[in-house]
Amino acid sequence: MLSSSSSDLLFLALAARLGHSDSSSSSSDDDESGSRNESTDSSSGDGDSSVSIGSVENDDEDEYEQVFIESMQNVKDNEDVRDLCAEGSYGYIQNMTNEDWEQLGRDISNHDHLGSLSITRHALEDENMSFLFRGLTKSNTIKYVTLYENDFGAEGVLAMVPFLQNVDYLEELNLNDNTITSEGFNSVFRALHGSAINYLRCSGCGIDSIKIDNDYIPRNLRILGLCHNSINADGCRELAKLLQRSLLSLELSKNSIDDEGVEILANSLCNSSLLQIDLTQNQISVEGLKLLLKVVNDISSIEATLRSNHTLNLINVVANDDAGGGGDKESEEVQQQINDTVMINRRNRNYPEAAGKEKVIHSQLNSIKRRNLAALLGVDGEVLYSEINCLHLPEVLSIIGETHGQGEIYVALRSSIAALFSTVDRKQCLQQQRAYHRAKLEAIEAEIAAIEGAQENAEVSRGVCNLASGHYTSFPTNELTSSRAVFVQPLGACCYRNK
């Protein structure tokens, strides 16, 4: 329950909001509106829009505060409230005591319906954070916690740890624009390892070093936002541990990442599930861009292209002028090649083999594109037909003709004609060998048959001789067609008997 001062303040605020009279506020509202509108006109585009708002927007803010107050009461009564939202500009928030914050935490812990908690824009600092989370130590329903643009640091985050360790269904946590520093981030990250968190945002939090323990990585983390910090190559070395997990999006714009950091990330991206990475506004040169291009399309060989990353469908990166090469023709060309290759991944999402095949056709089997890519990446520019099995060349040439036209198929034929001829000669040679051995086999079979026939005829001749009488003179009377055997007949059959 809320403290007595909190309850009194709640009902006083409600009465004050509902008891406004139009007659008493009309002139003052007109004057205030004029001054606010004038202030709006004179403010710069980079200023905080909340400083210069018109009377209509001010009325909206009053309405939002009233909704918050009503929602607090419903949370206290355990009624069906799904969202609790507050900003530091609310008068009620500014007048809450530490005891009020602690009681609010208890009410939320005991509530059975709240799904989203949002307290933003200078409502919280270390002290009231400590009291809020002294009461708010668990939740069975909260999925979304938004605490951006407040004034707490590492101390306030440490007060959250028991809550983060005991919240069952937390999916998103937004701590953007708080000075939690590296200490706070590392504590939060470690505390979330057993949660259902899949989206963690800690941009603009003064993080310069990261420590990730492989045993304490949130198993369901999909999106990590770390923009506008001071993360360098050492931080990239720690973040690389996440790229072999289930992370889908890594937001690192406006940090201190140089080419060394890009190389560390690139080495972990080949077999990663990551879909998107944002590296804009860092200290990356054109050489760093080339490392990213090689990740998604390594043209050093056809096999290397097939092993490239076929998962990334968005790489946001721009070469930095101060780092060297930003804005020149080469960096623009590399960026265009990255975009084109990533588009292939996007077209073949969930089909990496199809993406690899399209990259080979797009870059390896087009002499001009391969030559340009080879020049950018510093590899041999010759088309690698020698890597293709010569028996597959007809199919490859057909693909080239269909995809790149007759001009390119002429280049391909000229480059692979020797292999094609060797394919034809080899085939003819094998056919000739087959015909030769088939003829030899037929001759051997015929000779075997003749021998078997002669042996049968000889057996017949010996049987006739045993049945005849008198003297017998044997002489050849018949030579078999395919044998040297002689058939011996009785003498009486061919000559006279002597008297």
pLDDT digits over 186-218, tens only? 999 999 999 999 999 999 999 999 999 999 999
pLDDT digits over 366-398, tens only? 888 999 999 999 988 776 776 777 666 777 878
Q: Residue 425's pLDDT is what? A: 55
Q: Is 6's pLDDT higher than 50?
A: no
pLDDT digits over 392-412, tens only? 677 787 888 888 888 887 777
Residue 151: which CATH number?
3.80.10.10
Q: Residue 172's pLDDT is what? A: 98
Average pLDDT over residues 292-308: 95
Q: Is 46 exposed, middle or buried (0-12, 13-18, 19+ CB in 10 A)?
A: exposed
Q: Residue 424's pLDDT is what? A: 53
In a domain, 333, yes or no: yes
Longest dimension (CA), the chain: 174
Q: List strands edge to edge, sheet with 172-174.
A: 83-87, 116-120, 144-146, 172-174, 199-201, 223-225, 249-251, 276-278, 314-316
Q: Is 40's pLDDT higher than 90?
A: no
In a domain, 451, yes or no: no
In a domain, 449, yes or no: no
Q: Using pLDDT thresholds of 50, 70 and 90, give the confidence band for residue 178.
A: very high
Q: Residue 439's pLDDT is what? A: 87
Q: Among 276, 299, 300, 280, which Cα is nearest to 289's?
A: 280
Q: CA-CA distance, 442 to 431, in Å (whole number)?
A: 17
In a domain, 148, yes or no: yes
Q: Is 7's pLDDT higher than 80?
A: no
Q: Using pLDDT thresholds of 50, 70 and 90, give the confidence band for residue 299.
A: very high
In a domain, 209, yes or no: yes
Residue 67 neighbours by CB under 8 Å, 6+ apart: 85
Q: Using pLDDT thresholds of 50, 70 and 90, give the confidence band for residue 43.
A: very low
Model's pTM, two decimal places? 0.72
Q: Is 484's pLDDT higher than 50?
A: no
Instruction: Tell me which of 10 and 297 has the higher pLDDT.
Output: 297
Instruction: Tell me which of 451 and 8 has the higher pLDDT.
Output: 451
Q: Residue 483's pLDDT is what? A: 41
Average pLDDT over residues 158-182: 96
Looking at every residue in the chain, the average pLDDT score rounds to 81
Q: Is 148's pLDDT higher than 90?
A: yes
Give residue 351's domain range.
94-366
In a domain, 88, yes or no: no
Alpha helices in 242-285 (DSSP H): 259-267
Instruction: Tell me which of 60 and 67 has the higher pLDDT.
Output: 67
Least confident of 44-48, 295-299, 423-427, 462-466: 44-48
How many domains does the chain contain in total? 1
Q: Is 251's pLDDT higher than 90?
A: yes
Q: Residue 426's pLDDT is what? A: 60
- Six-digit token pair at 437? 């051995």
Q: Using pLDDT thresholds of 50, 70 and 90, give the confidence band for residue 27.
A: very low
In a domain, 344, yes or no: yes
| CB atoms near residue 405 (< 10 Å) | 11
In a domain, 361, yes or no: yes
High-pLDDT (> 90) share of the chain, %: 58
Q: Is 15's pLDDT higher than 80?
A: no
Average pLDDT over residues 58-81: 90
Q: Is 122's pLDDT higher than 90?
A: yes
Residue 173 neighbours by CB under 8 Å, 6+ apart: 145, 164, 188, 192, 197, 199, 200, 201
pLDDT digits over 407-442, tens only? 887 777 777 666 565 655 566 667 777 888 888 899
